[in-house]
A and B are shown apart, each in its own frame.
Chain A
Amino acid sequence: MQILDPAVIKVWTIKGALSWGILLPVCTTVDVILFFSDNDTFLPGLWTGLLLVICLAWILIIPKLRYRYWRYELRDEDLYAIRGIWNRVQTIVPLRRIQHLDVAQDLIEGNYDLARLVVHTAGTRSTDVVVPGLPYDEAVQLRDTVREFIAEYMD
């Protein structure tokens, strides 16, 4: 089975830091309010500190674990993917069920020349199966292979 590009760990780390960073102004505001009020229950800077600890632990551990458990394979008639840290998910998407395919790339992924292959089916749970952390050229190649396969069988 194929593994993802290791650079995806950096992408997930940055995205994780940005996601947690949204909470930072909230926690800092709470701490400032508590500092200037008659508060003697909470230590000054408790919430901001707590957030930073969780955030640090999260971005140092989670991306590496996600990367470790992500595997995919384009087989003869389906796309097979295994992922998940706590909840291990094994998905089989028959190629004949694919409605359309996208290669997506955001700014952070673009910086590392990575892309995601998004597979759309008519299903509800697996409507979008996303294979992240693929080198851009490889993602395009994978998309074209699947597209050719579908076109060949449709004929």
Chain B
Amino acid sequence: MEAPSAVFRQLHPLTFVHYVFLAIVGFAFAALSSPSYGGDAQRYSLIFATFYATVTGPYAIAKYIRFRYHVTSDELVIYYGVFKRVRRNIPSERIHTVSIERNMLARILGTAAVRIETAGTGDAEGNLSYVGVREAERIRNLLRTAQAVDSPESPTSPSFFMPLRRVLLSSIYQFSLGISALLVGVFFQLESFGIVDGRALTSWLVEQNFFSGTIEEFWPLLIALLLLVTFVLGWTLGFIQNLIRFYNFRIELGATKIRRRFGLITLHEGAIPYKRVQSFLIRSNPLMRLYNWHRLEMQTLGLQSGERGFQPGMPFAKWTEITALAPKIRPFSIPESYARVSRLTIRRRTLRYSLLIVLSSVIISLLWWPLALWGLCLLPAGWGLAWLQYLCHRWAYYDGNLLIRRRVFSQQFWIIPVERFQAFEITATFFQRRLGLCTLIVDTAGAGDLRYPRIIDLKREEANRLLAELYDAFQAEATW
């Protein structure tokens, strides 16, 4: 393979600081999540740390030395690889996105990561982590100039901007149980390392005499207290997470791309070409809907896999703001009326929930008889939920888009342009077949494994008719 010439550049020398930081985080995470057995914990940690430093240290140095890049207005060339040498040429005209990311450490060190994405890839095809800030801007400008289709436009006012007040307001609606669970896990690991003493903490709490009598007498109070603490913790962490993520969120609609800039600790700055947007997903929960707040996400093709193909478009906006801005990205209009799915869905869902409740009650009753029989009181709730799901599930095929609204609490509203369909599917479970129902699914590029558009419990004839209509429209609209 041809060796890189003198015009090729190396990454910023401070990249090493990033490597060291990542190594420390990786080590801490591995050490905290690894099983520990009392006093052996420190010994295992020491062995692990030595192994980690011996293997990853030289590899990081070799990786840095091997990495070279060269940018011209025509292409980006990267040499990389320690064991396997790779030369990658990315022609400028194939580049869809050049984004610059600066996390807190990068901002302190004056460095930035440049991510270059092309069509049809799941992850960034070129990743320059890390270069100087001026160098990052030089690379972006060079590649943008070559693309010509979206040359740096004169600074425009943002098409959508979230001032601090709105970010704070949006954070109020957020709740994160995931981080709470992680914190609890970390707490237990710290305890196993002897850094935190859980027993001493419990003894201290008991000594405070918050309540008299035995713990058994107050267990409902303790459970309620635990739930309250979990809720407060989940809400607080959700608030902080949202504030950090969407701080100073702004998007600008260019001629061919949507430019976005947001983030408090990690600054995300990049552009998404319009043609990469596959569909829209507008989400909300009952509390948000009460005050007409919604979140617009764009399902995109092949952006970073961490986002699972869904990119925040308008994290917190009024319905009128969304319907004014989103059609400029991909045209759509909102129909006046929607069709409902079959009423038989209530019967099918009620049956499913009833089976689930009865089965759970039977299993729990083996342990706590007759307490578990109270679980049967949930049967009417199952029927209520099925009825609400029926009311909330609607669809329409209107103006070249399939629109689907579903779910009660975490409501989803999909807008899928017909020319973006990838495949069509009709599925029918055993119970659905007994009732003459089925589910219509339209597959699109970039949807999640669990989050994808579907109309559940359509009548079979109606599903066939809709499928034929959608397929005909697809044949007429979709390009090769």
A→B interface (CB under 8 Å)? 77, 84, 86-94, 96-97, 99, 121-126, 129, 153-154
Min C-beta distance of B139 to chain A, whole Å: 28
Taking A123-B444, A124-B443 as contacts, is the C-beta distance between A92 and B471 under 8 angstroms? yes
Residues in B neighbouring A154, C-beta threshold 8 A: 480
Closest to A82 in B: B426
A129 pairs with B423, CB closer than 8 A: yes
Compute how far the CA of A86 lies from the CA of B443 in the bound complex, rounded to whole angstroms.
21
Min C-beta distance of B442 to chain A, whole Å: 9
Q: Does B441 contact A (CB under 8 A)?
A: yes
Residues in B neighbouring A77, C-beta threshold 8 A: 475
B474 pairs with A89, CB closer than 8 A: no
Residues in A neighbouring B301, C-beta threshold 8 A: 122
B→A interface (CB under 8 Å)? 120, 301, 309, 421-430, 433, 441, 443-449, 452, 467, 471, 474-475, 478, 480
A124 pairs with B427, CB closer than 8 A: no
Min C-beta distance of B244 to chain A, whole Å: 29
A125 pairs with B452, CB closer than 8 A: yes
Residues in B neighbouring A92, C-beta threshold 8 A: 423-425, 467, 471
Compute how far the CA of A125 lies from the CA of B429 in the bound complex, rounded to whole angstroms.
17
Min C-beta distance of A41 to chain B, whole Å: 15
A124 pairs with B447, CB closer than 8 A: yes
Min C-beta distance of A101 to chain B, whole Å: 14
Compute how far the CA of A92 lies from the CA of B422 in the bound complex, rounded to whole angstroms.
9
A96 pairs with B427, CB closer than 8 A: no
Name 14 interchain pairs, CB-CB below 8 A, sorted by A.
A77-B475, A88-B429, A89-B425, A90-B426, A94-B478, A96-B478, A121-B422, A122-B301, A122-B445, A124-B445, A124-B446, A125-B441, A125-B443, A125-B447
Compute how far the CA of A22 lies from the CA of B256 in the bound complex, rounded to whole angstroms.
54
Compute how far the CA of A16 lies from the CA of B188 in the bound complex, rounded to whole angstroms.
42
Taking A121-B422, A122-B301, A126-B422 as contacts, is the C-beta distance between A86 and B429 under 8 angstroms? yes
Min C-beta distance of A126 to chain B, whole Å: 4
Compute how far the CA of A96 lies from the CA of B422 in the bound complex, rounded to whole angstroms.
9
Taking A123-B445, A126-B443 as contacts, is the C-beta distance between A87 and B428 under 8 angstroms? yes
Residues in A neighbouring B427, C-beta threshold 8 A: 84, 87-90
Closest to B478 in A: A96
Give the most central of B425, B427, B428, B452: most A CB within 10 Å.
B425
Compute how far the CA of A99 lies from the CA of B423 in the bound complex, rounded to whole angstroms.
12
Residues in A neighbouring B471, C-beta threshold 8 A: 92
Compute how far the CA of A102 lies from the CA of B264 in the bound complex, rounded to whole angstroms.
46
A90 pairs with B480, CB closer than 8 A: no
Taking A96-B480, A153-B480 as contacts, is the C-beta distance between A125 and B425 under 8 angstroms? yes
Min C-beta distance of B50 to chain A, whole Å: 36
Give the most central of A84, A92, A121, A153: most B CB within 10 Å.
A92
B423 pairs with A121, CB closer than 8 A: yes
Closest to B451 in A: A124
Closest to B119 in A: A122
Closest to B467 in A: A92
What are the nearest 3 A-B pairs in CB distance?
Answer: A123-B422, A123-B443, A126-B423
Min C-beta distance of B374 to chain A, whole Å: 29
Closest to B422 in A: A123
Compute how far the CA of A96 lies from the CA of B474 in the bound complex, rounded to whole angstroms.
11
B480 pairs with A124, CB closer than 8 A: no
B425 pairs with A86, CB closer than 8 A: no
Closest to A96 in B: B480
Residues in B neighbouring A153, C-beta threshold 8 A: 480
Min C-beta distance of B356 to chain A, whole Å: 17
Give the most central of B426, B443, B448, B471: most A CB within 10 Å.
B443
Min C-beta distance of B470 to chain A, whole Å: 10
A91 pairs with B423, CB closer than 8 A: yes
Residues in B neighbouring A122, C-beta threshold 8 A: 120, 301, 422, 445
Compute how far the CA of A57 lies from the CA of B222 in the bound complex, rounded to whole angstroms.
49
B428 pairs with A123, CB closer than 8 A: no
Residues in A neighbouring B309, C-beta threshold 8 A: 124
Residues in A neighbouring B422, C-beta threshold 8 A: 97, 121-123, 126
A88 pairs with B433, CB closer than 8 A: yes
Min C-beta distance of B478 to chain A, whole Å: 7
Min C-beta distance of A73 to chain B, whole Å: 14
Compute how far the CA of A92 lies from the CA of B257 in the bound complex, rounded to whole angstroms.
32
Min C-beta distance of A125 to chain B, whole Å: 5
Min C-beta distance of A83 to chain B, whole Å: 10
Residues in B neighbouring A87, C-beta threshold 8 A: 427-430
Compute how far the CA of A90 lies from the CA of B452 in the bound complex, rounded to whole angstroms.
17
Residues in A neighbouring B441, C-beta threshold 8 A: 125
Compute how far the CA of A91 lies from the CA of B475 in the bound complex, rounded to whole angstroms.
16
Residues in A neighbouring B447, C-beta threshold 8 A: 123-125
Residues in B neighbouring A94, C-beta threshold 8 A: 421, 423, 474-475, 478
Closest to A129 in B: B423
Closest to B302 in A: A122
Compute how far the CA of A83 lies from the CA of B429 in the bound complex, rounded to whole angstroms.
12
Taking A88-B433, A124-B445 as contacts, is the C-beta distance between A93 and B426 under 8 angstroms? no
Residues in A neighbouring B467, C-beta threshold 8 A: 92
